[in-house]
Amino acid sequence: MPVYRPDDSVTLPLLEREPELAAAANAVDALCGSKRSGGLLVYRGAAGLGKTALLSEVRRLATGRCAVWSARGGETVTSVPFHVVRQLLQPVLTDAEPASERADGPTDARELLGDRYEIVGPALGIAPPGEQHADPQGVRDGLDALVERLAAVHGPLVLLVDDAQWADLETLAWLTSFAERPAGGLPVLIVVAYRTEEAIGETEWFLQKIGAAAKLLVTLSELTSDATAELARAALGEHADDPFCREVWAVTGGNAYETVELLAKVRDSGLEPVEAFAGELRALGASARGTGLIARLEELGTATTRFAWAAAILGTDISLDLAISLSGMSHEEAAKCAERLRAARILVGMDPLEFVHPLIAGAVYRAIPPGVRTAMHGLAAWAVSRSGRGSAAAAPHLLEVHPDGDPELVEQLREAAAEHLAVGAPDAARRCLERALIEPPLESVRPQVLYELGCATLLTSPATTVGHLRAALDTARLDEGLRVDVVFRLAQALTHNNQTGDAAHVVATEVARTEEGPDRMRLQGAHFLWEGVQAIEEDGPERSRRLARLADGLTGRDNTERVLLMLRAFDGTARGESAEENVQIGERALIDGRLPPGVGWADTAWGF
């Protein structure tokens, strides 16, 4: 039962975790047994207590018996929607063979997702975002269906999520809803690990919900002095005496990560593990964390430090090319720096690179001078965009740049927000647009940003949406075409906020000031819609007569006409008019007997 150390040649035992390991073994046995029962395990605790080591042991227990996929959150990428779920599921989808190239075995992404491909594919990064805003609940439902299909194709699944305190909120929302599903014997075991001290706000709320649904929720504690002594003797030899081992425990406080790091440094330095040299342990231990770690990094040279800063800015899954671009050095120089950092047990891997432990990544990131850190985020945004990854991938860096009235940055944030909305991540879009307002945008662009912000908050906070859209209407530079969109969306927000009377009044006022044409007809359609859903109408019969006059002669040439025809057919049916005539009216709203795109109840344009 080894401690996870990707660059350590010594295997150390995983101590004082017997109940947790037994629960994991039982869960894997149940998953791979005759009944194939899944579940949820949650390991939580302070940094460095061995959560990653436990996940590695779960992986060892499950490997060869079922499919095991893993992901981890990252401190600098928490704002990237579906970042963690993409790590979990994207590889199996992109590696699957198309049906035309296989006789049996995995199906490709289109087969797995079926008619949900256009909804879930963009969220998983395997399909380009569409023009429509994706419904977040629809994306979560699609992910549920995908996991069920993957379990049917690949057999039992183990999904490991490490550092969930830094997982994106979209992934956490899906994990929460998936964990709270009624028990149905789905052969999927999810194992989540997170730092309690780093889980705050909405992240903490989601993780608490996940913990409440778990079969096992364990809060890890520090190692005892006896366990620390056993680790010391496993790493340094049985001749490590009791006073020396007690000092190891005193220096590390029983923190498993710090204990392993300290013992590695003792071994590398050739220090004799006896009482006479125990006084040197504190200095060695200090070099593994905080200012001591940074001092050790600086001893490796300015160039190596700069390369480590670039890696810390990029966070997880660190692309070597991006790190080279950000640090401003040649491939040869970067390779030497990376090798020094690997030898110092700061980085691991080749391409992509990774920090040996998130504690190291956090310490390096926080050691970057604030002004330099901000500038490097700006460079990172440029490098990520230039690499073809898109504005959404650059957004975490754009959010960290100081406001400076940069119109180009505003446009990048708007593009990122549009991508976020298209994958079903309105909260991520909101953060981008709120940051764009702070920049601030040009006066001619400000109404568009406010409108887009209103679209982003419609489903989560209708009252907030109303405020943004009223602010857009009050802007002097609002053009007439956008004004219609703003009023239309404002009416939707008011209705979502149980203000249907206000919604109808807002649209009626705008109808009165708008000239005849498509825009006026669109507003009239919205007016009839919001009038019709009021609990008490002032003059229902008169509304029906006005609707009948407007719909008479319409052929359904666009969605505005189609919506008016639908409303007319519904109103006629509700009032007991001729069924034959109502059917004929309704048929004019269809294309080949089906609802046209853009007018379904879940659609963001005419959706209810």
pLDDT digits (tens, 9 = 90+) for 32-53: 988 888 899 999 999 889 899 8
**Ranges of H-type helices in 160-200:** 169-179
Lowest mean pLDDT among 222-226, 362-366, 546-550: 546-550
242-252 and 225-236 are packed helices; what angle lies between their axes, rounded to 10 degrees? 110
Query: Rounded to whole angstroms, how far apart are CA atoms 352 and 243?
Result: 42
Confidence of residue 389 (pLDDT cuts 50, 70, 90): confident
CATH class of 292-368: mainly alpha
Residue 111 above 60 pLDDT? yes
Query: Rounded to whole angstroms, how far apart are CA atoms 325 and 302?
Result: 16
Confidence of residue 6 (pLDDT cuts 50, 70, 90): very low
Distances (CA, A) of 214 to 38, 39, 70, 309: 11, 7, 18, 38
Confidence of residue 496 (pLDDT cuts 50, 70, 90): confident
Q: In this structure, are strands 347-349 and 353-355 parallel, antiparallel, or unpaired?
A: antiparallel
Residue 178 above 50 pLDDT? yes
Q: Which pLDDT score is estimated for 2? A: 39
Residue 526 above 90 pLDDT? no
Nearest to 261 by CA among 148, 143, 156, 344: 344
- Angle 112-118-124 from CA coordinates, rounded to 5°: 70
Tokens of 442: 């040009």
Query: Rounded to whole angstroms, how far apart are CA atoms 383 and 398?
Result: 11
Residues 6+ apart with CB under 8 A from 13: 1, 2, 3, 230, 231, 234
Which residue type occupies 600? G
Largest CA distance in the chain: 101
Q: Which pLDDT score is estimated for 601? A: 67
Q: Which pLDDT score is estimated for 184? A: 57
Lowest mean pLDDT among 6-20, 51-65, 145-159: 6-20
Lowest mean pLDDT among 89-98, 183-192, 354-363, 383-392: 89-98
Residues 6+ apart with CB under 8 A from 319: 351, 352, 387
Tokens of 89: 């599921």
Nearest to 397 by CA among 419, 415, 374, 427: 374
Which residue type occupies 251? V
| Phi and psi torsions of 23, nearest 5° | -65, -40
Q: What would the pLDDT profile of 43-90 be if each residue is shown by its tens digit?
A: 999 988 989 989 999 999 999 999 999 999 988 889 999 999 999 999
217 forms beta bridges with 42
Is residue 73 within 8 Å of residue 81, measured between CB atoms? no
Q: How many helices (H) and strands (E) does the chain have?
A: 29, 7
CATH 3.40.50.300: does it fit domain 18-219? yes
End-to-end alpha carbon distance in the chain: 55
Confidence of residue 96 (pLDDT cuts 50, 70, 90): low
Residue 27 above 80 pLDDT? yes
Give the mean pLDDT of the chain: 87
Confidence of residue 539 (pLDDT cuts 50, 70, 90): low
Q: What is the pTM of this model?
A: 0.84
Lowest mean pLDDT among 121-125, 202-206, 420-424, 459-463: 459-463
Q: What would the pLDDT profile of 281-303 be if each residue is shown by its tens digit?
A: 998 887 767 777 888 899 999 99
Lowest mean pLDDT among 191-200, 238-247, 356-365, 434-443: 356-365
Say what percent of the chain tops pLDDT 70.
93
Is residue 151 within 8 Å of residue 32, measured between CB atoms? no
| Phi and psi torsions of 125, nearest 5° | 75, 20
Query: Rounded to whole angstroms, how far apart are CA atoms 353 and 347?
Result: 7
Taken in order 203, 209, 213, 214, the sign of the CA dihedral is positive
Q: Which pLDDT score is estimated for 5? A: 42
Tokens of 169: 């909120």
Question: Residue ranges of the domains in the chain?
Answer: 18-219, 225-288, 292-368, 539-608
Q: Which pLDDT score is estimated for 341? A: 95
Q: Which pLDDT score is estimated for 533? A: 65
- Average pLDDT for 369-391: 91
Query: Rounded to whole angstroms, how far apart are CA atoms 101 and 67?
Result: 22
DSSP-derived 3-state class of residue 2: strand
Residue 97 above 60 pLDDT? no
Q: In this structure, are strands 39-45 and 216-219 parallel, antiparallel, or unpaired?
A: parallel
Residue 515 above 90 pLDDT? no
Which residue type occupies 184? G
Chain CA centroid to CA 246, Å: 43
